Amino acid sequence: MSYELFPGVYRVQYGISDYGANIGGYFIVDRSIALIDAGLHERSLDVATKFLEEDIGRSPSEVEFIFLTHAHPEQIMGLHKAKDYFPNATILAHESLAPKLAKPRRFLKNEAFFLSGLELKELHKLANKVPRLLEVEGIKGTKKIPLGGRSILPVTVHGHSIGHTMYFESSSKVLFIGDALNATANDPLGIIIDASGTIKDVEKTLDFFSKASYHALCPAGDEPNLSQAKAWAIQVRDSFQNIFIKGTVAIIKDGYDNLEDIRIQFEDRFGPGHSGAQGKELLSLTLARILEHLVSSKLIIRNGNSWEDYVFRVNQ
CB 273 within 8 A of CB 279: yes
Cα dist from 58 to 22, 92, 299, whole Å: 25, 21, 56
pLDDT for the residue numbered 184:
45
Q: pLDDT per position in the chain (316 positions), as tens? A: 788 999 999 999 888 766 566 788 999 999 999 999 988 778 889 999 999 999 999 999 999 999 998 877 777 777 778 888 999 999 999 888 888 777 666 666 665 444 444 444 555 555 555 555 557 888 887 789 999 999 999 988 766 677 888 899 988 989 998 877 654 444 445 555 544 556 777 777 778 777 777 888 888 877 787 767 777 777 777 777 888 888 999 999 999 999 999 989 988 888 765 556 666 776 777 788 889 889 988 999 999 888 778 999 998 7
- The pLDDT assigned to 44 comes to 87
User: How far is it, in rounded angstroms, from Cα 44 to Cα 85?
Assistant: 11
CATH number of 239-314: 1.10.10
Decide: residue 268, CB within 10 A, 0-12 exposed, 13-18 middle, 19+ buried: exposed
For the chain, the structural domain boundaries read 3-237, 239-314
SS3 (DSSP) at 13? strand
Q: Do 153 and 144 form a contact (C-beta atoms < 8 A)?
A: yes
pLDDT at 109: 60
- What dihedral angle (degrees, nearest 10) is formed by the CA atoms of 88, 91, 95, 99? -100
Q: Does domain 3-237 correspond to CATH entry 3.40.1190.20?
A: no
Q: Measuring CA to CA, how many Å separate 135 from each of 102, 126, 178? A: 7, 20, 21
* CA 264 to the chain's CA centroid: 25
DSSP 191-251: ----TT--HHHHHHHHHHHHHS--SEEEESSSPPB-SSHHHHHHHHHHHIIIIIIHHHHHH
Beta strand pairing status for 174-178 and 150-156? unpaired
At 287 the pLDDT is 84
Rounded Cα distance between 43 and 76, Å, is 13
> 3-state secondary structure string, 94-154?
ECCCHHHHHCHHHHHHHCHHHCCCCCHHHHHHHHHCCCCCCCCEEECCCCCEEECCEEEEE
